[in-house]
Amino acid sequence: MEHEKIVVGLLRTAIGRCPAEIKELEMLSGQDWKEVYKIASGQGVLALIWDGLKKLSAEYLLPRELRLQWVLNVEKIENRFARYTRTAGELAGELARQEIRIMILKGLGLASLYPVPAHREGGDIDVWLFGKCEEGNKWAEDNGIDVNVDYYKHSKFYYRAIPVENHQYFLNVKMDTVDKCLEKKLYDILADCPCAELPVQANKLWTPPADFNALFLLRHAAVHFASEGIVLRHFCDWALFWQKCGQKVDVGAFMNTLEGTGLLEFARVFTALAFDVTGIDPCCCPVPPGENKQLYRRMQNEVLSVVVQNKPIGKSAFTVFLFKARRFFSSRWKHKLVYRSAFVSRIGYSVAEHLKHPHLLLKLR
């Protein structure tokens, strides 16, 4: 875990209040730095770790070739962010002509919470069209864009070569009663609380209210944790959200929901880890730290080793299937922490989904 500790220390340097010790960094070999780079990349925090190095003026410690590679990939992350932002703005302009508004989930909306927004790595552009999912799909099809509607939760299409997930539902409501309950609460929040504007290139995007994000981000992280796993980026999102938006959250309603849905234990451990690894002051978050030290260490080990665990050895169909099966059945302890339903029901759901969509069998995520 020594290399992982270096990554966490530099992450705290970048966004928290606990800078890493330069003496520890000076003792690292070229091979050590390669491991640090690999972990940072796999954890979705490569640009943030570079920020930490820059803050300490420690980038000179890296071997020249690795330093150049790191700079190049940070530039790629920045360029991708600019491209995603531009594309989201253009999409908002196109849909506005159809009287369709776009609310951004995660991604670009959360990036504004980071010291350097362009250094928050993302994947798809996740959108909710204020109840006009079908109209959004029709607009895409009318413009010659192929729309994949295999998944009930959201459709998927590519706009200017950027993947867009158009959400019909926020959560996986067919899998667990917790998601059904939270889905309703999220809609209630949207009905009662105004969304915030996110101006992009003279077009308007919208971001969810703080009460929405408090529940959505936590449940999203919990579901990922129980399936393919979470990475340090999820912790950064959570800690920075509370640091920047915590005062806007209805704390009483939020805590009541956690208790009512059985999410409190997960929230306590996840939150404690989030503030520990980021070095952000936890006083901004109402969730009390978890007292289950064994569970804390188990989640910590799970997250920090996810770069190794989440890759099968080999790429054959059988190898990938075996890897996914082992990962699935080893997650039973996580299922109990996140879901109300019995683990056997998750097995049935997974089998049904793979029978319906066989191509998913070889997808790692």
pLDDT at 49: 98
* Region of 121 on the Ramachandran plot (φ > 0 left; ψ -120 to 50 alpha; else beta): beta
Ordered DSSP codes for 286-297 = -SPPP--HHHHH
Residues 337 and 265: beta-carbon distance below 8 Å? yes
Which secondary structure element, helix H or strand E, spans residue 164, and what is its range? strand 162-167
pLDDT at 228: 80
User: Where do we find the tokens 């996840």?
Assistant: 270
pTM, two decimals, is 0.89
* Per-residue pLDDT tens digits of the chain, which is 365 residues long: 689 999 999 999 999 888 888 889 999 999 999 999 999 999 999 999 999 999 999 999 999 999 999 999 999 999 999 999 999 999 999 999 999 999 999 988 899 999 999 999 988 899 999 999 999 999 999 999 999 998 899 999 999 999 999 999 999 998 889 999 999 999 999 999 999 998 776 678 999 999 999 999 999 999 999 888 899 999 999 999 999 999 999 999 999 999 999 999 999 999 999 999 999 999 999 999 877 889 999 999 989 876 545 555 556 665 765 655 566 556 677 888 888 765 546 565 555 555 565 655 555 55
- In the sheet that holds 125-128, the strands lie side by side as 147-148, 154-159, 162-167, 125-128, 103-105, 203-207, 196-200
Give residues with Cβ within 8 angstroms of 9, minimum separation 6. 18, 19, 20, 21, 24, 52
Name the nearest CA neighbour of 253 among 211, 194, 196.
211
Which secondary structure element, helix H or strand E, spans residue 204, and what is its range? strand 203-207
Which amino acid is present at 64? Answer: R
Residues 221 and 234: beta-carbon distance below 8 Å? yes
Give residues with Cβ within 8 angstroms of 286, minimum separation 6. 246, 249, 251, 254, 255
Paired residues of 325 in beta bridges = none
Alpha carbon distance 352, 345 (integer Å)? 11
- In this structure, what DSSP letter does residue 195 have? P
pLDDT at 241: 97
